Structure 1
């Protein structure tokens, strides 16, 4: 039977692994689930049903729950991947700060979960991810600050943190294109240059 990428188990086979499943298939499934979760949360908000994530990823719900036992785990995985890409961009020699901001902006436009993270997650949040999100937010700030050129307009005081918060607040809209347009407009109003808006390595 031909194996399709990202689909190694069907709902009707819950609890049973096909003989060709293994670490590589598990890694593909997890990557597909994270990508699907980012899309579903962006389109429908953080309260979207996890069954929609499984369908978008092309896997059964047993596979979903094996990787992410609850909503908190799925949201945290999306946030972690977003932050990891910003850190990778900021840690790569020769990458301009404007290009790091381009990676950050891509995730802002692509991921509703990331926007929530950079709003520092309200104290009344009931999703159970507040402490984790605050830690990841600190990692984003640290990565950006380490890459911030001396004398950059965002290098004074809390200008960097406030600017990221202001841009993230501006990222609204039904379509991804509209969210990106608004993010770039916000950066322009702040007088900050942003490079190509794309994921790290994209």
Structure 2
């Protein structure tokens, strides 16, 4: 009988590698199928069993928080940029991420419903405020624009994205919806 190579269980030694694989797979699965995609699809794409996935991330929300931490890091970096143009770059990034990965907004909505201590909206407001003030002071945006306006506009982007039956031309529809108010900088 020929000898077959058995898969060796690396146990705890594989934990960091498994975690990275799960996060990469979740990023892809959430982007393609949305926040409510089956976690079994994430585990399969990562090449791990569901038990391994749940050992690292006991809940969907914990997995999503870990996946979308990179979004927050990018937002925070732009918010800290002292240049008045940082607000425009931050706004474009928020819009792009909403279009490309509606699962991020779905995660925020789920967290708002289920996690009483979740502060995502306040965190976003705090990020937007300082760069918006710098942009207003530099004359780059309409002085009437408020953080509440920006938050409302982001909600409009989400609405356009989830209500669009065809992804073709989605960016153009978002740009058109946002241009109707005239307060926000163009997305070009």
**TM-score (ref. length: structure 1):** 0.66
With the length of structure 2 as denominator, give the TM-score of the two structures: 0.70
The structure-2 alpha-carbon separation of the partners of 1:90 and 1:188, relative to structure 1 and needing over 3 Å to count, comes to: same
Sort the Cα spacing of 1:141 and 1:156 in 2 relative to 1 into closer, same or farther, 3 A: closer
Question: Match of 1:6?
Answer: none
Partner of 1:182: 173
* Matching residue of 1:98: 88
Match of 1:49 among 18, 32, 38: 38
Q: CA deviation digits over 1:134-193, x for unaligned, max 9?
A: x12211121111110225336347322222222222123467665444333332333322
Aligned to 2:122: 138
* CA distance in 2 between partners of 1:53 and 1:81 (Å): 18
1:84 equivalent to 2:70? Answer: no
Q: What are the Cα deviations for residues 45-75 of structure 1, in whole angstroms up to 9, with x where unaligned?
A: 3332212112223444344223212212112
- Whole-angstrom distance in 2 between the partners of 1:109 and 1:115: 10
Larger-gyration structure (1/2): 2
Q: Which ranges in structure 1 are unaligned for 5 or more consecutive residues? A: 1-9, 197-202
Relative contact order, higher structure (CA 8 A, sep 6+): 1
Query: Superposed, which structure 2 residues align to 1:188-199 within 5 Å?
Result: 188-191=179-182, 192-194=184-186
Paired positions, count? 173
Report whether the alignment pairs 1:160 with 2:155: no
**Does residue 1:70 correspond to 2:59, yes or no?**
yes
Note the C-alpha offset of 1:129: 4.2
In the superposition, relative to structure 1, how do residues 45 and 103 fare at CA in structure 2: closer, same or farther (>3 Å)? same
Unaligned ranges ≥5, structure 2? 1-6
* Higher helix proportion (structure 1 or 2): 2
